[in-house]
Amino acid sequence: MEENRIKELLESVRSGKVEVDEALDSLVRLPYEQVGDFAQLDMHRGLRRGFPEVVFGQGKTAEQITQIVNRLSERNERVLVTRLSAEVYAQIREELPDDAVYHQRPRALVINRANLVCRPGILVACAGTADTPVAEEAALTAELMGNQVERLYDVGVAGLHRLLDKLPMLRQARVIVVAAGMEGALASVVSGLVDAPVIAVPTSVGYGASFHGLSALLAMLNSCSSGIAVVNIDNGFGAGAMAAMINRLDER
């Protein structure tokens, strides 16, 4: 949305020609911006959904990502690009804003100029060391959305005492993200021990009959414990965003 259109609208609000709710509604519903011939950025997603449009890095050219990030960066305090390979990042780093930070493990690019007071309550757990990139994507996302995140990594069910030892930490959390590959049992076990909702994110860690995360996905969907909902395989971002959305519920 161009600035003068917003200005016009707001002046109409001040003068009483337009009601506040009506103006808010139109700001929430309408605007987006064209970038090149390949993207229509939803510039008011932040207003409507609480966080600006997130860029899915995979399948976009280096050129496209550069243009999109720069445009988003002009309009927003926070920018997130997920699934950005180290190779593409290396190509474009010079053309990005100076305050853009690339996180290797979760392959995410972050710009964060907001000074958010962090809401506690989110715990991100994962079953094995190989699951940490996904867990980190979740944690990073939740942090960028204004949350303070506890991490509890490598607590798979083959050594249950590592998990039971952390029961107080688990019980204190308001929302828990559990990332696990292979048989994905950690989600059920954690959920059975707490009364917080669990966002389960299956990872593609494993081989053979894990079928790139299918085994963990199915296990999590079929949990015998209630209070679990599942996001896509390796979708740390989705899990983090869902957890953040839940954790801010009491602000409504």
Site residues for a second copy, window 112-141 (CB under 8 A)?
127-130, 132
Smallest distance from the beta carbon of 42 to a second copy, in angstroms?
Answer: 4
Interface map 59-98 toward a second copy (x if CB under 8 A): xx---x---x--------------x---------------
Q: Which is nearer to a second copy, 79 or 196 (CB)?
A: 196
Smallest distance from the beta carbon of 201 to a second copy, in angstroms?
Answer: 9
Max distance between CA atoms of the chain, in angstroms, equals 67
User: Distance between CA atoms of 68 and 96, rounded to whole angstroms?
Assistant: 10
Q: Which is nearer to a second copy, 76 or 132 (CB)?
A: 132
Name residue 199's beta-bridge partners.
177, 229
Q: Which is nearer to a second copy, 78 or 83 (CB)?
A: 83
Query: What's the token pair of residue 145?
Result: 């959305």
Q: Using an 8 Å Cβ cutoff, are 179 and 135 in contact? A: yes
Query: What's the token pair of residue 118?
Result: 């962090």
Site residues for a second copy, window 154-193 (CB under 8 A)?
154-162, 165, 174-175, 181-185, 188-189, 191-193
Interface map 231-250 toward a second copy (x if CB under 8 A): xxxxx-xxx-xx--xxx-xx
By residue count, the chain amounts to: 252
